[in-house]
């Protein structure tokens, strides 16, 4: 009986600790909070929203009726000064449905194999795409043409989706064929932020 009482007391203590230490493990975004997120990040863009299971939503903006945007919730664990804290974030797949298809248009199949991306969890909703490519994989070994194609990709994205303001960068690095350090002129970062 004492063991059960001690276990119950421990569970109550942990529940209080977790809920008062900034932990959001037991809460999820409501549809109203998601609407607020959309209004803050994409003001003046009428849309419809649909809730799905597993804390996901689909938003379809009137300006882009054939481009439903997936909105997801994610819990991230990190160390909060000695206490494990789980925080919650919501994010969209806008970079993947806007920029990524353009990579397929502007890069060869071989070059496309070297594209990767990551999302920054903290701070602003930011994405970074990376193309770290061996010199031999660059079409016709023409690095300047590769940079020109990436620049055209960025401009097309800005023109196609001017109302989306997600911060996105494309880092392009062409690795030397002999394994030597990358030359400064073979490394370039392109900004795809529509608000700039």
Q: Are 130 and 176 within one domain? A: yes
Q: Are 93 and 170 within one domain? A: yes
Give me the pLDDT at residue 110, please: 97
- 174: β partners: 133
- Please say if the pLDDT value at position 67 is more than 60: yes
pLDDT, greater one: 142 or 124: 142
Average pLDDT score over residue span 177-196: 83
Q: Are 44 and 128 within one domain? A: no
Element (H, E) at 102: helix 100-106
Residue numbers of the domain that contains 74: 27-84
Give me the pLDDT at residue 11, please: 52
For the beta carbon of residue 157, count every other beta carbon within 10 angstroms. 20
Question: For the ranges 25-34, 49-58, 108-117, which has the lowest average pLDDT?
Answer: 25-34
Mean confidence (pLDDT) of the chain: 82
3 in a structural domain: no
- Please say if the pLDDT value at position 18 is more than 60: no
2 in a structural domain: no
Indicate the residue among 84, 101, 126 that finishes a domain: 84
Closest of 192, 190, 191 to residue 164, by C-alpha: 192
Cα dihedral sign, 167-162-99-60: positive
Instruction: Give 143's contacts (C-beta < 8 A, 6+ positions apart).
Output: 135, 174, 185, 186
Give me the pLDDT at residue 17, please: 46
7 in a structural domain: no
Q: Are 180 and 93 within one domain? A: yes
- Please say if the pLDDT value at position 20 is more than 50: no
73 in a structural domain: yes
- What Rg, from alpha-carbon coordinates, does the chain have? 22
The structural domain count of the chain equals 2
């Amino acid at each position: 009986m004492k063991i059960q009482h001690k276990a119950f007391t421990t569970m109550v203590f942990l529940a209080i600790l977790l809920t008062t230490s900034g932990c959001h493990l037991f809460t999820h975004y409501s549809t109203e909070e998601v609407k607020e997120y959309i209004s803050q990040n994409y003001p003046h863009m009428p849309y419809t929203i649909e809730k799905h299971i597993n804390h996901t939503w689909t938003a379809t903006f009137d300006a882009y009726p054939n481009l439903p945007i997936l909105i997801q919730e994610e819990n991230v664990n990190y160390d909060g000064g000695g206490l494990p804290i789980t925080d919650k974030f919501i994010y969209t797949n806008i970079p993947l449905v806007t920029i990524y298809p353009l990579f397929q248009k502007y890069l060869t199949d071989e070059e496309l194999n070297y594209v990767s991306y990551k999302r920054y969890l903290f701070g602003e909703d930011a994405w970074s795409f990376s193309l770290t490519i061996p010199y031999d994989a660059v079409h016709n070994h023409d690095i300047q043409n590769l940079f020109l194609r990436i620049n055209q990709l960025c401009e097309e994205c800005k023109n196609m989706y001017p109302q989306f303001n997600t911060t996105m960068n494309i880092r392009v690095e062409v690795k030397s064929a002999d394994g030597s350090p990358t030359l400064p002129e073979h490394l370039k970062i392109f900004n795809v932020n529509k608000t700039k």
